[in-house]
Structure 1
Amino acid sequence: MKSENSLDGLEALDRTDRHILRLLQADASISNQALADKVHLSPPACLRRVERLKKSGLIRQIVALLEPKALEMGMLVMIGVVLDRSTPEAFKDFESAAQKVSGCMECHVVTGEFDYMMLLRTKDNDSFNRLHAEQLLYLPGVRQIRTFIGLRQVLSSTSLPI
Structure 2
Amino acid sequence: MTLGNRRRFSYSPIDRSIDIYSVKIIDILYILNNKSGMDGVDKKISRLIQSDGRISSAQIAEAVGVSVSTANERLRRLVAQGIVKEWRGVLDPDKVGAALCVFVFVDVSYEGEAEACAALIQFPEVLELHHISGPHSYLMKVRVQNTTALQQFMQTCVKPLKAVLKTETILSLEAQKETTAVKISPQSDER
Q: With the length of structure 1 as denominator, give the TM-score of the two structures.
A: 0.89
Q: 1:77 aligns with which of 90, 102, 127?
A: 102
User: Structure 1 vs Structure 2: percent identity of aligned residues?
Assistant: 21
Does residue 1:49 correspond to 2:96, yes or no? Answer: no
Aligned-partner residue type, residue 137 of structure 2: D
Q: 1:112 aligns with which of 102, 110, 134?
A: 134
Does residue 1:11 correspond to 2:33, yes or no? Answer: no
CA-to-aligned-CA distance 1:53-106 (integer Å, 9 cap, x gap): 1111111111111110110101001100111x324xx22111111123341111
Question: In structure 2, the residue corresponding to 1:155 is in which secondary structure?
Answer: coil
Contact 1:7 1:56 in 2 (8 A): no
Change (3 A) 1:7 1:130: farther
Deviates more, 1:70-79 or 1:134-143: 134-143
Q: Which residue of 2 aligns with 1:40?
A: 65
Question: In structure 1, the residue corresponding to 2:122 is in which secondary structure?
Answer: coil
Greater than 6 Å deviation, 4+ residue runs:
none
Does residue 1:65 correspond to 2:90, yes or no? Answer: yes
Q: Aligned partners of 1:33 and 1:45: how far apart in 2?
A: 10
Q: Aligned partners of 2:63 and 2:82: how far apart in 1?
A: 23
Contact 2:101 2:171 in 1 (8 A): yes
Question: In structure 2, the residue corresponding to 1:105 is in which secondary structure?
Answer: strand
Aligned-partner residue type, residue 139 of structure 1: L
**Which of the pair has more CA radius of gyration?**
2
Q: Which residue of 2 aligns with 1:86?
A: 110
Does residue 1:141 correspond to 2:163, yes or no? Answer: yes
What's the C-alpha RMSD, in Å, of the aligned pairs? 2.1
Contact 2:158 2:164 in 1 (8 A): no
Does residue 1:100 correspond to 2:105, yes or no? Answer: no
Q: Which residue of 1 aligns with 2:187?
A: none
Aligned-partner residue type, residue 110 of structure 2: S
What count of residue pairs does the alignment treat as equivalent?
158
Q: With the length of structure 2 as denominator, give the TM-score of the two structures.
A: 0.76
Question: In structure 2, the residue corresponding to 1:138 is in which secondary structure?
Answer: coil
Aligned-partner residue type, residue 103 of structure 1: E
Q: Which runs of 5+ in 1 are unaligned?
A: none
Does residue 1:153 correspond to 2:178, yes or no? Answer: no
Q: Aligned partners of 2:68 and 2:53: how far apart in 1?
A: 16
Question: In structure 2, the residue corresponding to 1:154 is in which secondary structure?
Answer: coil
